[in-house]
């Protein structure tokens, strides 16, 4: 009789664990992601940033609602020291950023604005199935004088000097 009770408890406990894992897995919403050629991955964490869809998708991987607070996560296989955000010509020349510090602002002759961001230490995540690490950098920014409507954005990264 006790053996049957133990088996019943074991089955119930296993079922609870499996159902909890399924609930967690199914509750995770898909995060819009852009994969760049140099192995970077950019994840859009809120509705103020989304992957660009259209004929220029290779040149302009993201669109952001600049008058809001876009939040992204940059994932890299190696540590990064800086990230460059290049906005289209309608953007403002001011940027307040969280997750890094603004080191340089360049106004291009065609009106585009380029911001160089020195990244803070990112989180390191080990991927045990690959025996490798990924480095994650979370950025959130505000453009105080941003125009209304969406802006196109190009990202590029500088690897950390090892």
Q: Is the pLDDT of residue 162 over 60?
A: no
| Enclosing H/E stretch for 23 | helix 2-27
Confidence at residue 40, expressed as pLDDT on a 0 to 100 scale: 82
Confidence at residue 118, expressed as pLDDT on a 0 to 100 scale: 93
Average pLDDT over residues 76-81: 86
What is the DSSP secondary structure assignment for residue 28, as one 8-state letter?
-
Confidence at residue 141, expressed as pLDDT on a 0 to 100 scale: 92
Confidence at residue 139, expressed as pLDDT on a 0 to 100 scale: 93
**What are the strands of the beta sheet with 80-87, ordered from one edge?**
49-51, 62-65, 150-159, 80-87, 113-119, 100-107
3-state secondary structure of 111: coil
Q: Is the pLDDT of residue 129 over 60?
A: no
Cα gap 100→73, rounded to integer Å: 12
Confidence at residue 17, expressed as pLDDT on a 0 to 100 scale: 74
Confidence at residue 71, expressed as pLDDT on a 0 to 100 scale: 92
Confidence at residue 115, expressed as pLDDT on a 0 to 100 scale: 94
Confidence of residue 33 (pLDDT cuts 50, 70, 90): confident
């Amino acid at each position: 009789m006790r053996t049957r009770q133990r088996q019943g408890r074991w089955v119930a406990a296993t079922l609870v664990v499996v159902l909890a894992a399924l609930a967690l897995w199914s509750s995770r919403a898909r995060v819009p992601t852009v994969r760049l050629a140099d192995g970077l991955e950019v994840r859009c964490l809120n509705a103020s940033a989304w992957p660009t869809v259209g004929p220029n998708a290779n040149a302009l991987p993201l669109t952001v609602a600049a008058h809001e607070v876009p939040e992204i996560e940059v994932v890299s296989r190696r540590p990064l020291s800086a990230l460059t955000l290049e906005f289209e010509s309608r953007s403002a020349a001011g940027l307040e950023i969280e997750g890094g510090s603004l080191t340089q602002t360049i106004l291009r002759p065609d009106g585009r604005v380029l911001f160089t961001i020195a990244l803070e230490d990112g989180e390191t995540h080990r991927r045990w199935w690959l025996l490798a690490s990924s480095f994650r950098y979370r950025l959130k920014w505000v453009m105080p004088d941003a125009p209304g409507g969406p802006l196109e954005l190009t990202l590029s990264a500088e690897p950390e000097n090892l």
